[in-house]
Amino acid sequence: MSKFHISATVNGEAVEYLCDPKQTLLDVLRDELNLTGSKEGCSSGDCGACSVTLDGRLVCSCLVLGVEMQGRSVETIESMASGEKLHPLQQKFLEAAALQCGFCTPGFLVAAKSLLEKNPNPTESETRYWLAGNLCRCTGYDKIIRAVLETAADMRGSK
């Protein structure tokens, strides 16, 4: 079966790629575009390690086909820092030790950024529910939740 030629926007830049119909967006990001920040955990939409935003909406990139991307726009963890300058969430995750092995961290950061864009002042409960689709087997979550809430407070304060 022939490959599809897709034109899409990835992290603000126009990209073109060839893909098979069965390749997921995650496969395309990692294997065709060499953007390996998004991780493959479960491949079934349960773990959130592959979280990206698609036209501004938080999704699991393992549950999107690469061929669906024609004309659409995706933001990945690679767009989060501005050059050497980390996003406040990234900085806080480091300071608060909100990661251990780090495999789930890109997904948590993308999901947390999406939360704070929608709701700059989330409660702890709202934060935990928003991030319920991001699994971490190391930290026990408390440090992650605290880091997100502290970042939200910092970002509100600096406005």
How many angstroms separate the CA atoms of 42 and 35, rounded?
18
How many angstroms separate the CA atoms of 95 and 123, rounded?
21
| Nearer to other proteins among residue 63 and residue 94 (C-beta) | 63
Residue type at position 158: S
Report 65-104 residues binding other proteins (CB under 8 A): 65, 67-68, 70
If one asks whether residue 45 binds other proteins (CB under 8 A), the answer comes out as yes
| Nearer to other proteins among residue 109 and residue 157 (C-beta) | 109
How many angstroms separate the CA atoms of 90 and 113, rounded?
10
Closest by CA position to 64, among listed 13, 106, 28, 107: 28
Which of these ranges, 53-61, 75-83, 94-102, 141-149, lies near other proteins under the rule CB under 8 A? Answer: 53-61
Residues engaged in binding other proteins (CB under 8 A)? 1, 4, 20-22, 24, 43-46, 48, 51, 54, 57-60, 62-65, 67-68, 70, 111, 114-115, 129-134
